[in-house]
């Protein structure tokens, strides 16, 4: 924002430039002003102060802003034993069921964010420690079997058969397979038992 004296000096320079043959817009561009601003100054006679509505800013406290005692009451509710681990999205409905209203859900979220208490409020259980599954290794054949199910397309669109295939981890040889018309853990278990019995019979003979 320019002062009244600065406006008067700038208007004088622009008037002199235009009197010498310059056009208004290029002359304004040379001093970093828009032609509309200069035209407004010329029209109003460079009035005192900034006459724009946007230049007059007065902070008005919203009528629904919480007082300090109300704010403390809300924080006491949020940190109470009953609600200290719950997010506002669950606290507000529970209070409403009891006929109690202390603040809106958005207000609670804003207050918790300001107090740095929002991160730990989760609806899920605390993170648990998980150990990595034990890697299996085979030092010879018939120690560890791998298996998978492969879709086998048919001539009927959308209908498949399912190839259950077991492979020896060490030798990478196929030790057994079967085709079924559905996926089933019971069928896979039965096929593995059949493969194991066949292996035992082969060793016995």
Is the pLDDT reported for residue 194 higher than 80? yes
What span, in angstroms and rounded, lies between the C-alpha atoms of 63 and 46?
A: 37
Pair of tokens at residue 79: 């940190």
Domain definitions of the chain by residue range: 4-48, 69-114, 145-204
Categorize the per-residue pLDDT at 13 as very low, low, confident or very high, splitting at 50, 70 and 90: confident
| End-to-end Cα separation, the chain, in angstroms | 102
Query: 23-37, 46-60, 118-132, 133-147: lowest mean pLDDT where?
Result: 46-60
Q: What is the pLDDT of residue 4?
A: 73
Categorize the per-residue pLDDT at 175 as very low, low, confident or very high, splitting at 50, 70 and 90: very high
In percent, the amount of the chain with pLDDT more than 90 equals: 24
- Indicate whether this model's pTM tops 0.85: no
**104 and 92 in contact (C-beta within 8 Å)?**
yes
Tell the residue number behind the tokens 């209908």, with chain if given. Answer: 159
Q: E strands within the chain?
A: 145-153, 160-168, 174-180
Categorize the per-residue pLDDT at 46 as very low, low, confident or very high, splitting at 50, 70 and 90: very low
């Amino acid at each position: 924002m320019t002062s009244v004296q600065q406006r008067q000096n700038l208007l004088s320079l622009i008037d002199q430039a235009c009197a010498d043959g310059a056009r208004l817009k290029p002359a304004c561009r040379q001093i970093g002003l828009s032609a509309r601003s200069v035209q407004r100054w010329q029209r109003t006679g460079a009035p005192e102060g900034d006459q724009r509505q946007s230049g007059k800013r007065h902070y008005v406290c919203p009528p629904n802003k919480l007082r300090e005692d109300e704010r403390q009451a809300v924080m006491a509710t949020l940190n109470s034993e009953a609600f200290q681990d719950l997010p506002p999205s669950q606290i507000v409905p529970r209070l409403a069921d009891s006929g109690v209203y202390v603040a809106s859900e958005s207000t609670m979220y804003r207050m918790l964010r300001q107090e740095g208490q929002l991160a730990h409020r989760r609806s899920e259980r605390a993170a648990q420690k998980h150990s990595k599954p034990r890697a299996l290794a085979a030092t010879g054949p018939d120690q560890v079997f791998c298996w998978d199910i492969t879709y086998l397309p048919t001539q009927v669109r959308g209908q498949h058969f399912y190839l259950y295939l077991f492979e020896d981890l060490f030798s990478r040889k196929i030790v057994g397979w079967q085709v079924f018309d559905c996926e089933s853990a019971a069928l896979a278990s039965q096929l593995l038992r059949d493969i194991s019995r066949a292996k035992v019979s082969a060793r016995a003979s």
